[in-house]
Chains A and B, each alone.
Chain A
Amino acid sequence: MLNDVLLIWKFRSGDSDALAKIYEDHRHNLLRIATGLLNQAGAAEDVVHDVFVQLAQSPERLRLRGNLRSFLATCVVNRVRNANKAAQRRRTGGLDQAEAVACDSPGPERWILANERFTMLRNALAELPYEQREVVILHLQGGMKFRDVAKSQGVSINTVQSRYRYGLDKLRSLLDGEV
């Protein structure tokens, strides 16, 4: 936490090394969160790219209340929700029905590289209803407390805990024998 505060203070004072350090420390986790939520590697890469660019352009907006990891996870999830809304406007099916796009498809531009374990997890997460997926990812990968997830989703903590429980049960049935 103290490291976060120092890093942010340096970044807000204009230190680009501090920004590079934030990027180094958090890019993998944010890509993992965005891919899990969207189940589309290309869209996830765009989201994380935009989160970092916006952070770079407006350091004054970085006001930490919890830890930096949770703050950045919230930035990602907000952008994913916007992407969801835009996608729902464009098509009748929701993101729950979105088909997975292989993240190791050929092309020089790909940022995320597939590995077997991550692909297995991503496919299992894609089977969860979106709200459950979001709770599981924000809690386990974003390091957010249930209380904060509840605030972010605008529902009660009981609802978030139910979503988490159902999400984990489903993951357990999907990944049974693999984990």
Chain B
Amino acid sequence: MKPRDRIERFVADTKIDTSDKRDRQVLGEVLQAHKDSRQGTSQELQPHIWRIIMNGNTRKLAAAAGVILAVALLITMSDWMTRPAWALAQTIEALKEVKAIYIAGRVHYPDRQIDAEIEIWATAHTDDPAVSGDFRYREGDDHLCIASERENLTYVYDQYSKPNVNVVYITEGLNRRGPIFPSGDMLEEFKKAAENWQEEYRTDPATGRPCVYVTFAGPAVNTARYWQIQIDLQTKLPVRAAVWFDEPRQGKPHYEYTDVQYNPTIPEDSFKFSIPTGAQIIDCRILRKRIEGVPGVGVSVAGLSCEEAGKKVAQAYWQAVIAQDWGTAQNLRPLATDPAWDELAALYAANPPTELVAIPTINHLNDPGTFVEVCCVVRFKDGATRRSLLNVDLKETAGGRIGVVAGTIGPDFYEAN
């Protein structure tokens, strides 16, 4: 047996002993709690019913009238009760038959004044249909993410100006960006996390088909959490969805899925990625391996969110650079190969950074494979401010979770505007 198997077996098989007396005592307390809660529930109802029935003839008559009224109401409502009802379980069941999906819609970032088309192609994972296997997510013309189940790789392409970025991340595993494969699991998660879940039956004005519109405050996409999902009552499948930053769900939603097709024919090469001309390739697999080869680096980020951790690493790095504490700076940026550390130190020496002015954006927070991209605005001795896009790697080590600067996107500095 391998040493690792022996340890696993040791942890799994090691038993605990308990005191019989305490076992019985605790069981007694648990059963008493059960009994009390059951009695509490029935006591809340029974005395009222008993008093209504027994307190004199007038009340007896009133109770009888109540019963007659209830029966009459039931008869009147029978028509309403036979309307096509919907239950989440039906949609979960219908989604079990879905093996591939196409979704089109729009994304709107009000703070950056971005309004772009989005398109998703996905197939269910071979081993776990609750998540996607092959996945393609396109946002406008400047963001494309492709996860390939066969290659077990994810490619993330970003292209934008100000600063001029044209970069491809290659990461190991299926690190999807955007929604997971729409499945029962996803809807159950939504329901579990939902507040103010409401269902409204209406006809879709576009198609004339009966639908249920489910609204709730649920899991956040960025900070948007006010959802509306439209479900077709005949197929029981979601046909539209949107999520807003605010209630009452007016104006442009953050994400809006308007065209959903189930089990579509998938165009050939949809999940094949070709590296665009001139793109900087950041192969996270290689960089991570090289970082692993340098022990004892980085700063602890245990218990921090990705955003907090990215910020902490960037702040620590700039603090060291500004103080010209090169030992700490190198420890936080162990690769520093673009350019090599000596060149980097020379760059800093020529016009030393004097202040970390702001960290306006932190991206790739929900991409488990890529690095966290921390945009830093830094002031220099010459008085000018410039931007630096740091790639921060958050990794597990024997001593817990740490963060390091894995490099920069593009050159070390961009002009701030």
Contacts and interface: CB of A to CB of B under 8 A. Distances in A.
Nearest to B16: A32
Contacts of B50: none
Contact of B398 (A19, A141, A170): A170
B37 A58 contact: yes
Contacts of B128: 147
A23 B31 CA distance: 10
Given A110-B19, A129-B400, A162-B396, A16 B31 contact: yes
The 8 residue pairs across chains A and B that have the minimum distance between CB atoms = A156-B368, A129-B400, A56-B34, A162-B396, A111-B22, A113-B17, A56-B33, A57-B37
Interface string A71-91: 000000000000000000000
Given A57-B37, A136-B11, A179-B7, A158 B31 contact: no
A114 B395 CA distance: 36
Contacts of B29: 49, 53
B171 to A, nearest CB: 9
Given A53-B29, A131-B302, A166-B396, A31 B37 contact: no
B388 interface: no
Given A129-B302, A175-B10, A111 B19 contact: yes
Contact of A49 (B26, B188, B189): B26
Contacts of A156: 175, 368-369
21 contacts: A16-B34, A23-B27, A31-B16, A32-B15, A56-B31, A57-B33, A57-B37, A112-B18, A113-B17, A118-B17, A121-B11, A131-B303, A131-B401, A132-B396, A132-B400, A137-B11, A140-B11, A156-B369, A158-B173, A171-B11, A175-B7
Interface string A88-132: 000000101000000000000111111101100100010001111
Interface of B: 3-4, 6-8, 10-12, 14-19, 22-23, 26-27, 29-31, 33-38, 128, 172-173, 175, 188-189, 302-303, 368-369, 395-401
A136 B153 CA distance: 26
A68 to B, nearest CB: 15
Contacts of B27: 20, 23-24
Contacts of B369: 156, 158
B397 A19 contact: no
Contacts of A19: 30-31, 34
A10 interface: no
A141 B11 contact: yes
Contacts of A24: 27
